Amino acid sequence: MDIFEKCEHKSPADEVREMGVYPYFHALESRQDIEVVMEGKRRIMLGSNNYLGLTINQNVIEAGIKAIEKYGTGCSGSRFLNGTLNMHLELEAELAEFLHKEAVVTFSTGFQSNLGIISAIVGRTDYVICDKENHASIYDGCKLSYGKMLRFKHNDMQDLERMLQSVPETAGILVVTDGVFSMGGDVANLPEIVRLAKKYGARTMVDDAHGLGVVGEGGRGTASLFGLEKEVDIYMGTFSKSLASLGGYMASSERIADFVRHSSRPFIFSASMTPASCACALAALRELTAHPELVDNLARNSRYVRDGLTKRDIKHLESTTPIVPIYTYDKLRTLGIAKDLYDAGVYVNPVLPPATPPAECLLRTSYMASHTESILDEAMDIMKSVLESDKWAM
């Protein structure tokens, strides 16, 4: 049998292409901002994770340019060998101070961060217990480890305790949860997760990819939101969202960080963050530190949108974060409405199985501190018009 035979079969992607509702790989022709040019037309951007709007911040842009001029375009090696710049160490030190942790280890991508942390920490006799709605990179990190993975129902603390009770007393346990869940925008019940972890001798790790710059004191994330910075053992996060760059990190004690630096295959065998990525992340972190009002602006815009959707009778999932999902339920209807919104000048992200249950498809909208009320009103009016003229209803 030819291993490529599967590639020749008609795929779900082929089917939606034929229907004219394929939603992926729309090409940007402008900067990532509240308005963009995609495929020759202005679109209001409601599908970005650029929560603080720092991708167009002049200090961040200039930092990236200066880094290329000083260091060149790449590091051409892993952090373990020739790929460590003094700027990597500077970023790690300043981020550790910001997050109130002893140490930070940076990775080349956020996805790689979860692979590298979990596979290093969770050994053959260990267990890793995950919320069912955790990000795909957490699942792949569990697969890359030699430990056993258990899953608990989303934010269900009784189910988490049942999982903890099932683990042998001799096994190490790492409980891993998203802080802010990327699709629903809801926040983990971190106080109860930490309490249960301590009760059963487990350690905790929070994926704060969508929490950094979004929640907590000055945008310090989910643990800060609940006053649990000293209780959560490991934070993971990314630079590709609030910090307007590319890369990821782990924040922890110095001993845990040192162990991961010398044990994590994705860290040891990958080239380090490029000079420009590192410099932009560092500059964005300094912008966030100097301007905590960015986080307040983001929260204000998020409230404005939720209130505006309610006034327009647009059903959405309630949350306290800038991720606001709009219910569309059926797969074809979701794709069709996303296309109609795109054609009308609003970009949103359709979310389909396996990211949702089959009958719970949705449009994921996300907002920035830099959105204006006039732009948000324009986008919500377009959404109302498209949803009211819904030709995709079953």
Considering the candidates 88, 135, 241, 339, report the single residue annotated as catalytic.
Answer: 241
The torsion angles phi and psi of 289, rounded to 5 degrees, stand at -65, -40
Considering the candidates 88, 101, 210, 316, report the single residue annotated as catalytic.
Answer: 210
How many residues are recorded in the chain?
A: 394
Please answer whether residues 324 and 305 qualify as being in contact, where contact means their C-beta atoms are separated by less than 8 angstroms.
yes
Task: Say what the pLDDT of residue 74 is.
Answer: 96
Q: How far apart are CA 363 and CA 361, in angstroms?
A: 7
Hey, which residues does 325 pair with through a beta bridge?
364
Task: Say what the pLDDT of residue 378 is.
Answer: 98
pLDDT tens by residue, 178-208: 999 999 999 999 999 999 999 999 999 999 9
Q: Is 245 a catalytic residue?
A: no
Q: Is 241 a catalytic residue?
A: yes
pLDDT tens by residue, 86-109: 999 999 999 999 999 999 999 999
Which whole-number Å values give the CA distances from 235 to 38, 67, 164, 176, 372, in the listed order? 35, 27, 21, 10, 32
Give all domains of the chain, ordered by start, each with its CATH number: 5-51+292-388 (3.90.1150.10), 58-290 (3.40.640.10)
DSSP 219: G
Q: Count other C-beta atoms under 10 Å from residue 189's C-beta.
A: 17
Q: Do strands 361-366 and 148-152 pair parallel, antiparallel, or not at all (unpaired)?
A: unpaired
Nearest to 29 by CA among 38, 41, 18, 17: 38
Q: How far apart are CA 144 and CA 115, in angstroms?
A: 7
Q: How far apart are CA 164 and CA 162, in angstroms?
A: 5
Confidence of residue 394 (pLDDT cuts 50, 70, 90): low
Please answer whether residues 273 and 88 qualify as being in contact, where contact means their C-beta atoms are separated by less than 8 angstroms.
yes
Nearest to 207 by CA among 343, 75, 115: 115
Confidence of residue 60 (pLDDT cuts 50, 70, 90): very high
Q: What pTM was estimated for this model as a whole? A: 0.95
Which whole-number Å values give the CA distances from 191 to 117, 195, 219, 251, 259, in the listed order? 22, 6, 18, 19, 27
Helix ranges (H only) for 200-253 are 222-225
pLDDT tens by residue, 374-389: 999 999 999 999 999 8
Hey, which residues does 43 pair with through a beta bridge?
36
Considering the candidates 48, 108, 119, 182, report the single residue annotated as catalytic.
Answer: 182
Confidence of residue 20 (pLDDT cuts 50, 70, 90): very high
Q: Is 210 a catalytic residue?
A: yes
How many CA atoms, within 13 angstroms, populate the side-chain half-sphere of residue 2? 6
Confidence of residue 319 (pLDDT cuts 50, 70, 90): confident
* Structure-token pair, residue 106: 């940076």
Q: How far apart are CA 381 and CA 385, in angstroms?
A: 6
